[in-house]
Amino acid sequence: MAEKYVYGFREGNKEMKSLLGGKGANLAEMTNLGLNVPPGFTISTEACTRFYEEGEELWDTLKAEMKEHVLETEEIIGKKFGDENNPLLFSVRSGSVFSMPGMMDTVLNLGLTDKAVAGLANSTGNERFAYDSYRRFIQMFSDVAMEVPKSFFDGVMDDVKEKVGAEKDTDLTAEDLKLICEHFKKVYEREIGTEFPQDPIEQLMLSTKAVFKSWNNPRARVYRVLNDIPHDLGTAVNIQAMVFGNMGDRSGTGVAFSRNPATGENELFGEFLVNAQGEDVVAGIRTPEEIHELKKIMPDVYQQFLDTAENLELHYKDMQDLEFTIENEVLFILQTRNGKRTTQAAINIAVDMVNEGLITKQEAILRVDPDSISQLLHPNFDEKELKNSKVISKGLAASPGAASGKIYFNSHDSVNAANRGEHAILVRQETSPEDIEGMVSAQGILTSRGGMTSHAAVVARGMGKCCVAGANEVFVDEVAKTMRVGDAVYGEGDVISLDGTTGIIYEGSIKKVDPELAGSFETFMEWVNEEKRMVVRTNADTPRDAIQAINFGAEGIGLCRTEHMFFHEDRIKAVREMIIAKNTDARKAALDKILPVQEQDFYDIFKVMEGRPVNVRLLDPPLHEFIPNTKEDMEALAMDLNIPVLEIENSVKALHEVNPMLGHRGCRLAVTYPEIYRMQARAIITAALKLKAEGVPVTPEIMIPLVGELKELAYVKGEVIDEINQVFQELGATIEYQVGTMIEVPRAALMADEIATEAAFFSYGTNDMTQMAFGFSRDDAGKFLSEYAEKGILEKSPFEVLDQKGVGQLLEMASVKGRAANPDIHLGICGEHGGEPSSIDFCDRIGLDYVSCSPFRVPIARLAAAQSAIKAKQ
């Protein structure tokens, strides 16, 4: 046969998506697995294309094919289309290659006519149901196939309800509904000019045309542009027999999982309702029964279902979520898909299935969503207590975990409270680097402004500390020390709880449950390590973070930021002295005071890392971040440094920048004040040599940030190496070290071939690179990014998920150019994206050597890296 546009479900399989659409291919696959799927057929996407070529008309041979398949379906199911006793009814659904939810149209109960509705009443023994279905069908068909607005019918419904004194639709009797059907048909006749079609085949043809036409409705076109779906794919149409679970006590409907989706236990889990339609289960009017009860009522059907579940697991090699309907003791499987499950269940099922010989370790690894692991690492609130707790408000789930404590409104108060042994919650409008100590001291952090990548969010995730950010209903008055939500006001010392996994803020304290990293988790993560290619490092600035990360499997530090060290109380004064310094000598004198504390910082971190590589980024932020900008703080600093306050004010003015993100920071500081990086290089190397003398191995890497040009790197590196050589000479000892650079400025990626000649490594700073490539300030983009997401322009914030199409080009370009110019170069990523699974997958694909992320994301990154490696092997 030269032309074939219609395929019975037995003729297809899951590989035929582009011809049959996703839904059609899936129905075919299930049918061919031997499942008793309600029969039917699919009109192919090719037919859709031809439909448009034919001037939006169905052609004769297509109609003939369709009729043939109607007959075939009648045979299979043993009912007749439009029959007056037990009519075959169809659902008509669009189904394109890519899912376009809600964009195209569906018609249910097609085939209902004045005759057939009586048949349905008869076969179900439920007249009310039959006429309710009929009136729904008339409305749906008129809307979808004939473009009669739904509202025309709603008006009729309301009239009848008022007349008969029915409040709700469910108050209507079978008689009422019959009347409504009559009215509905009149509306149709009035609007269309012909009688409501009483020929089921005519209904089918009109509905099929409507589905094809819906492919090109404006909503669908816009949806496709925004979702990168080509316009010329076309949609398929799926025409499937409807089955009824409400045909009496030997009928029913239900949903079940092949294993327990909460715990992973290997036992059937689900529920069902006798004499009911699927809607009844969802509506919750009747309470469903436990699936095992089915065994008592219909033992054969139960056994059949059990076998089906088992076979489907064997076929799909995964836990299945099944929807079924029993029509007169005949079991129909309406849908089967891999079941959703908790992370704990996911891991248990994956490990069990490996042990059962059902799947390989690689398959097991691919089964678990990396992001979901974070649930397992943080404590959570006790579910029962949580239900009884009063919700105050909701913010962004910025950093997972659960925390209860007393509110404090600044770092100082929070630290003092912690010192008194209290549990503190730090509440701020937004945090800044000056709040670090307060954040460390608190159990959790709540901010009223800022997004998922605000300072509070980033730092809290780094610390593995619970944080709810950007709770914009919460009005924080830091001066008055109050937090207001609507009319409720909370003051210092009031107790609240934060759920960092949901973003919800609760009143009072709630019991916490510690996570159990059970045996199967350990087994699973061992398999992960066997598979991954990339090294996973961590971003850590303190020995405590470093230890945490090692416990989670980190293999080194990919980013040790030195600026956080600058804020500690024991050195901030010297740092400020350095910044206020009027000349190089004064600056050096202040730096001399910072040197020993920095050296101690590095000593402590190197020590806990026990020889694992530690990548130290030299000072990055603009200097003005370190000096106060309120009148009072400036006065205090002036007193402290014993200089006129005017001098401080002038410094603040001189350091002010219009766009600090693009200002005097990173290696630019070292070009103007080389002595700063020299001090840091000295501290790093002196600490490393001290440990070496003590027999502790150290692998220091020195990273120069914000480089955009070879000469910039060459100059700054020259200063650093010169200082290190001086240290070597002074101490009469040497140690291996590397000097490399962040690649974060777009120009650095463009010039990577030159820059690589002077760099031992590139570490991609994708946070800043995203800011500069898009021209989005991370601090400001919140104002419009939500609108961008809503309008489908950028679905995910590029600060959360790496923009592989755009920013990714820069990373790939830098990697290719860098390796060509310097084959030994070591490539890694230290931006926030280094802990995000899809971004990690991209890093693996472009061949990076490592990713680095905050400690609590290390297991996630390990899993994502393993998944990517497995996919690459496949």
Residues that bind a copy of itself (CB under 8 A): 225-226, 657-664, 668, 671-672, 706, 708-709, 711-712, 714-715, 744-747, 750-751, 768, 771-777, 779-781, 783-784, 787-788, 791-794, 803, 805-807, 809-810
Rounded to a whole number of angstroms, the minimum distance from the CB of residue 667 to a copy of itself is: 10
Nearer to a copy of itself, 127 or 625 (CB): 625
Q: Is 510 or 752 the residue whose CB approaches a copy of itself more closely?
A: 752
CB of 283 to a copy of itself, least distance (A): 38
Measured from the CB atom, the residue of 325 and 771 that comes closer to a copy of itself is 771
| Tokens linked to 274 | 């006798």
How far does CA 74 lie from the centroid of its chain? 45
Give 73 or 804: the residue with its C-beta nearer to a copy of itself: 804
Provide the pairing of β-strand 269-274 with 289-290.
antiparallel
Indicate the DSSP class of residue 373. Answer: G
- What distance in Å separates the CA atoms of residue 401 and residue 377, rounded to the nearest whole number? 8
Catalytic residue of the set 466, 830, 843, 853: 830
Task: Dig out the tokens for 212 from the structure.
Answer: 């094809």
Q: How many Å separate Cα 509 from the centre of its chain?
A: 29
Give the chain's radius of gyration (CA, Å): 33
Pick the catalytic residue: 183, 455, 624, 826? 455
| Nearest CB to a copy of itself, comparing residues 671 and 731 | 671
In whole angstroms, give the CA distance from residue 724 to residue 141. 80
Closest approach of Cβ 672 to a copy of itself, in Å? 5
CB 751 → a copy of itself: shortest distance, Å? 6
Q: How far is the CB of 624 from a copy of itself (least distance, A)?
A: 11
The pair of three-digit structure tokens given for residue 186, joined into one six-digit string: 């009149």
* Alpha-carbon gap, residue 663 to 661, rounded angstroms: 6
Six-digit token string for 170: 């469910």
CA distances from 476 to 263, 453, 739 (A): 41, 20, 44
Considering the complex, state which of residue 223 and residue 316 has its C-beta at the smaller distance from a copy of itself: 223
Three-class SS of residue 475?
Answer: strand
Note if 560 is an active site residue. no
* Token pair of 286 as six digits: 């009747």
DSSP 542-579: SHHHHHHHHHTT--SEEEEESHHHHTSHHHHHHHHHHH
Residues forming beta bridges with residue 180, ordered by sequence position: none
Smallest distance from a copy of itself to CB 194, Å: 34
Task: Tell the smallest beta-carbon distance from residue 415 to a copy of itself (Å).
Answer: 26
**Coil, helix or strand for 506?**
strand
Distance between CA atoms of residues 723 and 588, nearest Å: 14
What lies within 8 Å, CB to CB, of 618 at 6+ separation is 562, 667, 670, 676, 677, 680, 681, 702, 703, 704, 705, 720
Nearer Cβ to a copy of itself, position 738 or 777?
777
**Residue 551 CB partners (closer than 8 Å, separation 6+):** none
| Torsion over CA: 403, 404, 410, 412 (sign) | negative
Annotation marks residue 830 as catalytic: yes
DSSP 747-781: HHHHTHHHHGGG-SEEEE-HHHHHHHHHT--TTTT
Task: Choose between 162 and 780: whose C-beta lies nearer to a copy of itself.
Answer: 780
- Shorter beta-carbon distance to a copy of itself: residue 291 or 811: 811
Q: What's the min distance (Å) between Cβ of 746 and a copy of itself?
A: 4
**Shortest separation between residue 448's beta carbon and a copy of itself, angstroms:** 13
340: amino acid identity, one letter? K
Residue at token pair 């057939």: 116
Q: Name residue, tokens 């291919």.
A: 25
Which residues are designated catalytic?
Answer: 455, 830
